[in-house]
Amino acid sequence: MVNVNRTPIIGGNWKMHHTRALARELLSSLRAALEEFNQIDVVICPPAPWLGDAIDTLESSSILVGVQNVHSASEGAFTGEQSAAMLVGSVDYVIVGHSERRLMFGETDRQVNEKLRSVIDAGLEPILAIGESQDERESGETENVLRRQLFTGFDSIKMLPTGMVIAYEPVWAIGTGMSASPEMVQMAAVTVRNLVAERFDEITANSIRIQYGGSVNSTNASEFAEQPDIDGALVGGASLNADDFSAICEIFAHGR
Ligand code: PGA
């Protein structure tokens, strides 16, 4: 495919970690390390209770704030939920379809599609997470799984936001310390781009930013940053440490 300039993007997915005190300490350290870090996009997705702290601490820095999940409706009697519409003006990014949501909370491709639409409609930036399980990879189903997740995920969507983020996260690599090989991720990223070209067009496929997620750390990040179709990382465990996370950001800023 034609080569285009895509701004790398690193996401820090804190999942359900950290006390408020630790969260504030981490936010301050991240601000100190990455305050004027403009070479790439950096987005921190803290647990919802620390969202206010993240917004306050990172205000007017170059670090963006995101959330880990939303409900697909704009409002309603949905105890415990938050809508994309409510987050407008407070956050920039929303992770949609993380495998932990799919596997532990039974989120279907259809629900992921509804959430993705609500995020795009609200004008926020989605990070659509997709990826195959170990069994699916071993039985040669990876491409079919990615096709199903993307095509159902994109149902009724006419256009993707320019530079939209898709996080390719093979389930078996998440939180296991067993990252996928850079070559394997590069191949999957090309598959994702081809599927986006098939569903939309080549320009869209070239503009989307594909993150790799799954046990990324400051030691292995450079191998992924070197791959031409990997435009960043969605980082779980290593995003809880300011030094590690900042090092990953630096590597992707200088990786190409
Ligand atoms: P991990 O998580 O870096 O801890 O493997 C990645 C993710 O879940 O996005």
In a domain, 80, yes or no: yes
- Residue in 166, 216, 218 to alter for ligand 1 test, most ligand atoms within 8 A of Cβ: 216
- Catalytic positions are 98, 169
When divided into structural domains, the chain yields a total of 1
Question: Ligand 1 centroid to 170 CA: how many Å?
Answer: 10
Residue 1: per-residue pLDDT: 47
In a domain, 36, yes or no: yes
Q: Which domain holds residue 214?
A: 9-254
Q: CA-based Rg of the chain, rounded to a whole angstrom? A: 17
- Residue in 166, 169, 176, 211 to alter for ligand 1 test, most ligand atoms within 8 A of Cβ: 169
In a domain, 130, yes or no: yes
Nearest atom in ligand 1 to 173's CA: 5
- Whole-angstrom distance, CA of residue 228 vs CA of residue 190: 9
Residue whose CA lies nearest to ligand 1 atom number 1: 236
Residue whose CA lies nearest to ligand 1 atom number 7: 236
In a domain, 20, yes or no: yes
In a domain, 2, yes or no: no
Helix (H) or strand (E) holding 96: strand 93-96
Over its length of 256 residues, how does the chain's per-residue pLDDT go in tens digits? Answer: 445 689 999 999 999 999 999 999 999 999 999 988 889 999 999 999 999 999 999 999 999 999 999 999 999 999 999 999 999 999 999 999 999 999 999 999 999 999 999 999 999 999 999 999 999 999 999 999 999 999 999 999 999 999 999 999 999 999 999 989 999 999 999 999 999 999 999 999 999 999 999 999 999 999 999 999 999 999 999 999 999 999 999 999 987 5
In a domain, 16, yes or no: yes
Residue 59 belongs to a domain with what CATH number? 3.20.20.70
Is residue 190 a contact partner of residue 146, using CB atoms and an 8 Å limit? no
In sequence order, what are the residues at sequence separation of 6 or more whose Cβ sits closer than 8 angstroms to the Cβ of residue 177? 215
Q: Treating both helix axes as pointing N-terminal to C-terminal, what angle do 109-122 and 142-153 enclose, rounded to 10 degrees?
A: 50
In a domain, 3, yes or no: no
Q: Does ligand 1 have an atom closer than 6 angstroms to the CB of 236?
A: yes
- Whole-angstrom distance, CA of residue 149 vs CA of residue 193: 13
In a domain, 243, yes or no: yes
Note the pTM of the prediction, 2 decimals. Answer: 0.97
Question: Ligand 1 centroid to 7 CA: how many Å?
Answer: 21
Instruction: Let me know if 222 is exposed, middle or buried by CB neighbors in 10 A (0-12, 13-18, 19+).
Output: middle
Residue in the block written with tokens 């690193």: 10
